[in-house]
Amino acid sequence: MPLDITPVKKGEAIHFHNPNKKFYEAVGGEEGIKKLMYSFYDKIYESDIAHFFPQDEDEFEAIKVQNTKFFVQICGGPKVYENETRGMELNEYMIRLHDDFSVTEKSRVEWLGTMREALNELEEVEQSLIDDFWEYLDSFSKLTVNSFSDGSTYFAAFTQAKEDR
Residues 6+ apart with CB under 8 A from 57: none
Alpha-carbon gap, residue 61 to 31, rounded angstroms = 16
**Please, which contacts does 137-142 make with residues 24 or more away whose CB atoms are closer than 8 Å?**
137/112, 138/3, 138/4, 138/5, 138/6, 138/112, 139/6, 139/14, 139/15, 139/16, 140/14, 140/16, 140/91, 140/94, 141/108, 141/111, 141/112, 142/6, 142/8, 142/12, 142/14, 142/108
DSSP code of 153? B
| % the chain with pLDDT above 90 | 56
Q: Which region among 58-67, 68-77, 80-89, 101-110 has the lowest average model confidence (pLDDT)?
A: 80-89
Q: What's the confidence (pLDDT) of residue 153?
A: 66
Residue 93 clears pLDDT 60, i.e. is over it = no
Alpha-carbon gap, residue 14 to 66, rounded angstroms = 25
Q: What is the CATH number of domain 17-160?
A: 1.10.490.10
Higher-confidence position of 4 and 99 = 4
Q: What's the confidence (pLDDT) of residue 88?
A: 63
Q: Which pLDDT tens digit goes with each residue over 119-154?
A: 999 999 999 999 999 999 999 999 888 877 776 666
Residue 161 clears pLDDT 50, i.e. is over it = no
Burial of 48 (0-12, 13-18, 19+ CB in 10 A): middle
User: Contact 1/127 with Cβ under 8 angstroms?
Assistant: yes
